[in-house]
Amino acid sequence: MRINIDHISAFNKEQEDSYIDELDLLKNRFSKKGISIDKIIQKVADFQVAIPSWALGAGGTRFGRFSYGGEPASLEQKLDDIGVLQALTKSAGAVSLHIPWDIPDDVKAIKEVAQSHGIAFDAMNSNTFQDQPDAKETYKFGSLSNTDPAAREYAIQHNKDVIKIGKELGSKSLTVWLADGANFPGQNNFQRALNNTEDSLKSIYKVMPEDWKLFIEYKPYEPNFYSTVIQDWGTSFMLANACGERAYTLVDLGHHLPNTNIEQIVATLMLKGKLGGFHFNDSKYGDDDVTVGSIKPYALFLIFNELVYGMKNNPQNPGLSWMIDASHNTKDPLEDLLQSLEAILIAYIQALLVDQKALSIAQQEHDVVRCQEILQDAYRNDVRPILKAAREKSGAAVNPLQAYRELGVRKELIKERGTKTMATGL
């Protein structure tokens, strides 16, 4: 299933959408504050979010997995699915691969498929949380932190292999997420585990090409329930500093204990030039990986507010690697990813609408009420007309989800690939 520009323009033409009138209202209202909606439209049109290869099939839970039908069975098909998202939104122009789930048989052919869809290779993800069938060492008691040097070496070598594959594909970064930790008190010597992890990360960092970045992801719990070696941003930040300049912290929204002030973490990391990557999702309880913005949209806006501030004021922080880290059990994964992209861009636009000048003055004057009003004045807008304008500008469908349904994409995929399908990976 390939969506081309004719599909999109035919769809857009049929849309008797009155968004232009609504857009004009927003333009008028915000020009009075010196905020240019046209500039925002351009920023939104440029914003690209990577899609992880493992989010394209039904992920399920340990209690079951329900196929969607038409799921991708190969890396090529995964790229085709992202191609659909990219054609519909023009904001999903990258893929984040996972090794060993996505080892390409033919690098050249895979690069061609990606290129034909306008998809770049974002961060590579290593996997030291599952033992592979032919594994010589086990990760049962840790990978980069393991007390057994052979297991550590095995995990380090895996990361080096991932870098090698990524280099061939044209990726420029490696994301390390470790499941390492302990299920019971006393199981691990915390200091030894942290030291081993630092040493292992340094050996990986050392072989990384000069133009690559290392992203270190943190997570408080799961799969281990008592302790996790890289449990929080502080630990990740410390490890990134120990590795060197091109090592950064990666924030996954689901990897925080309830009510953590994630926007403050974002601000701190950007001030220190150490925020490298971002995994979007939403959650109610833990690492639920549900649709972005479906549970705490205001928190997402506040996070974006810090991201926007950081992108403007922190030249010490590099451009970020954005990714959606979601999993799907009951929805069509592609529809959910479209909803997530929508939520990300909406929060981004709302944050771009914050009157930063007025906010700074109100902060200086300790006018607490006004500070809050300024944020809410940006948040409490229906910004979808701006998003639609950005989409029209970049050649995307003004309403991607509706276009997806009207074009019968899932039906077509089921026809091509069958009903009883299982995507490789998580």
Site for Zn ion, rule CB under 5 A: 252, 279, 287, 325
Residue 299 vs 396, nearer CB to Zn ion? 299
Distances (CA, A) of 73 to 56, 70, 344: 10, 9, 28
Partner from Zn ion, ligand AOS, none binding residue 125, C-beta < 5-8 Å depending on class? ligand AOS
> What is the contact mask toward ligand AOS in residues 298 to 327, using x (rule: CB under 6 A)?
---------------------------x--
User: CB atoms < 10 A from the CB of 241, how many?
Assistant: 14
8 A C-beta contact, residue 176 and residue 215: yes
Closer by beta carbon to Zn ion, 218 or else 301:
218
Residue the block writes with tokens 């995307």 = 396
Residue 325 or 332: the one with the smaller Cβ distance to Zn ion is 325
> Of 27, 78, 90, 98, which one interacts with ligand AOS (CB under 6 A)?
98
Q: Among 363, 362, 356, 256, which Cα is nearest to 299's? A: 256
> What are the CA-CA distances from residue 156 to residues 150, 196, 236, 287, 367 (Å)?
10, 11, 17, 26, 52
Q: Which is nearer to Zn ion, 232 or 252 (CB)?
A: 252
- Min. distance of Cβ 262 from ligand AOS in angstroms? 14
Considering only residues 196 to 225 of the shown chain, the ones binding ligand AOS according to CB under 6 A are 217, 219
- Asked if residue 117 binds ligand AOS (CB under 6 A), the reply is no
CB of 177 to ligand AOS, least distance (A): 4
Contacts of 414 (CB under 8 A, 6+ apart): 69, 70
Task: Give the one entry of Zn ion, ligand AOS, none that residue 282 binds, where binding means its C-beta sits below a cut-off of 5 to 8 angstroms depending on kind.
Answer: none
R_g over Cα of the chain: 22
Contacts of residue 231, defined as CB under 8 A and 6 or more positions apart, other chains included, come to 181, 218, 219, 220, 221
Question: Which residue in the set 12, 86, 125, 145 belongs to the binding site for ligand AOS (CB under 6 A)?
Answer: 125
Specify the residue, 59 or 69, whose C-beta has the smaller distance to Zn ion.
Answer: 59
Cβ distance to Zn ion smaller for residue 73 or 426: 426
| Cβ nearer to Zn ion, comparing 213 with 279 | 279
Do residues 101 and 95 lie in contact, with contact meaning Cβ atoms separated by under 8 Å? no
Cβ-closest position to ligand AOS: 177
CA 88, CA 7: separation in Å to the nearest integer? 9
Which helix (H) or strand (E) segment holds residue 253: the answer is none
Number of H helices, E strands in the chain: 16, 11
CB of 327 to ligand AOS, least distance (A): 8
Tell me which residues touch ligand AOS (CB under 6 A): 54, 98, 125, 127, 177, 217, 219, 252, 279, 287, 325, 426
